[in-house]
Amino acid sequence: MKRTASRGRVREEGVNRDTIHGMPNTSKGGTASFYGLGIAPSLLDILQKSRFTIPTPIQSKAIPVAIQGKDLVGIAQTGTGKTLAFAVPLIQRLEAIKGRGLILLPTRELALQVDEVLVRVGRPLGLRTVVVIGGASMGNQVAALRRNPHVIVATPGRLIDHLDQRTLSLQDVRILVLDEADRMFDMGFAPQIRKILARLPRDRQTMLFSATMPPEISKLAAEYLRLPFRIEVAPSGTAAERVDHEVFVVGKNDKPRLLEKILEEYKGTVLVFSRTKHGAKKLTRAVSVMGHRAAEIHSNRSLAQRKEALAGFKSGKYRVLVATDIAARGIDVTGIELVVNYDLPDRAEDYVHRIGRTGRAGRAGKAISFATPDQQRDIRDIERLVRMQLRRAPLPGLPPARALPPREFGGPRREGRGGGYGGPSRGGGRPGGGGSRFRRGPRQRSR
């Protein structure tokens, strides 16, 4: 990328590091309220009624820039409110311009949760949304798309399905949001993302949000965003501030006993990460034998099963949720007391996203990781990424081993090194609400 001087500053790698209308590119801090960020009075009233009172740093920095229609790259820790940071300007700008918005996300769960925020904030204004993700009827999605929604919330795979079948055109998209962009690349969505970008109009606003900023995401931003304003409220890879980190070095055969001991000591909700979906299934059964209500969430579960597990975890029906990394950025549950890395992640970056499920929105949280004696290098890789030393804890007295069927848990079958996701997700969804304030002329059927 060429370096060119502009207004005494350097624009490098397609990122505009200048100020925009007096707003500096700072990395910390926020404002005391949503007033003064350029938000319309009607939206401010909705935010107040929805009990959104104090913006997070990423919200206070991103909203004014996005409302002006500028491209931006937002880097913030998981759980810092990135969804509202793009939802508010998206809704406000769609009232003023013709066209629709498109939000791309890596997982079904995350898409559904983003849609919940859009509906909560936008439905009083008449915003119509559709969720296009895997596990739901294509016919229902086509019917919802024909109702001319203002915002499409999608995973890349199913969106490509609709484009290939010509049930959807992207020519009227004026605002694009790429949320959890690094995770989409991790999951193998890079070809689909580029194919979607090629179908979009060049005259659009693009917002890219992520918790980490690997080189391939920087390259994407330089190629497809127009001098984006970079907003970094924490260095890439930074872990949540109020999370206490602890590591137990434990033999593989003692992991079930250590988990049972921890579940006895911590009384709140617990999210347990397994490296593989087969391991998650076995672990869920083992936790149930320990006397705790548990559910599992991974790519082998249907959309209905995953939604039921997540809803049950939120409501308290299940105390323990066992998940693979497919859920690391798709679980937005307030008040998770503890995250347990039963298996260390294959990539150090995934540690940040896993433990970001606890200690959200400024709350205190706890993260406990199990490492086998031969995984010391993996621990050091994580420590380098998060820029802190993880506290090693001595093993407590463990309960007796439970008699489980050999293949139910810890049997001779060796687990693979793969993550919980076997490939890009393929589409499903539901329509959002109707309304009048967003109605702009006659409806046009998508191809």
Average pLDDT over residues 92-103: 94
Measure Cα distances from 314 to 218, 269, 362 in Å.
Answer: 35, 9, 19
Paired tokens of 114: 């983003």
CATH code for residues 4-232: 3.40.50.300
Per DSSP, the three-state class of 289 is helix
Where residue 55 falls among pLDDT bands split at 50, 70, 90? very high
Asked if residues 368 and 262 have their Cβ atoms less than 8 Å apart, the reply is: yes
Mean pLDDT is lowest, of 23-32, 326-335, 379-388, for 23-32
CB atoms within 10 A of CB 266: 15
Could you report the per-residue pLDDT of 398-437, keeping only the tens digit for each? 998 876 655 544 443 333 333 333 333 334 433 333 343 4
Asked if residues 69 and 228 have their Cβ atoms less than 8 Å apart, the reply is: no
Paired tokens of 190: 């890079």
Where residue 108 falls among pLDDT bands split at 50, 70, 90? confident
CB atoms within 10 A of CB 312: 16
Angle at the Cα of 233 (from 18 to 219), degrees rounded to 5?
65
Could you report the per-residue pLDDT of 120-134, keeping only the tens digit for each? 999 999 999 999 998
Asked if residues 354 and 325 have their Cβ atoms less than 8 Å apart, the reply is: yes
Q: What is the pLDDT of residue 329?
A: 59
Beta bridge partners of 12: 15
Domain 243-393 has CATH 3.10.105.10: no
pTM: 0.66
The separation between the first and the last C-alpha atoms of the chain, rounded to the nearest angstrom, is 37
What are the residue boundaries of the structural domains of the chain, listed by start?
4-232, 243-393
Q: H helices within 316-439, ranges in order? A: 348-355, 376-386
**Identical fold at 4-232 and 243-393?**
yes
Q: Which distant-in-sequence residues (6+ apart) come within 8 Å of 418 by Cβ?
A: 275, 276, 346
Place of tokens 């509202």: 84
Q: What is the pLDDT of residue 415?
A: 37
Paired tokens of 12: 């490098």
Could you report the per-residue pLDDT of 276-305, keeping only the tens digit for each? 989 999 999 999 999 999 999 988 888 888
